[in-house]
Homo-oligomer: A and B are copies of this chain.
Amino acid sequence: MTSRVLAIALDCHDPEPLARFWCAALGYAVVKRWTDAHGVEYLELAADGEPMLLLQPVGEDKVVKNRMHLDLEPRTGGQREEVERLVGLGARVVSDEPEFPWIVLADPEGNEFCVLPRS
* B-binding residues in A (CB < 8 A): 1-11, 24-27, 36-38, 50-51, 54, 60, 62-77, 81-82, 85-86, 99-100, 111, 114-116, 119
Copies in the complex: 2
CB contacts (< 8 Å) of A3 on chain B: these are: 25-26, 72-75, 82, 86, 115
B65 and A68 contacting across the interface, CB-CB below 8 Å: no
CB contacts (< 8 Å) of A115 on chain B: these are: 3
CB contacts (< 8 Å) of A76 on chain B: these are: 1
Contact of A2 among B8, B62, B70, B75 (CB under 8 A): B75
Could you jot down 13 A-B contacts, CB within 8 Å?
A1-B74, A1-B75, A3-B73, A5-B72, A6-B71, A8-B51, A8-B70, A11-B68, A37-B99, A51-B51, A60-B65, A63-B64, A67-B68
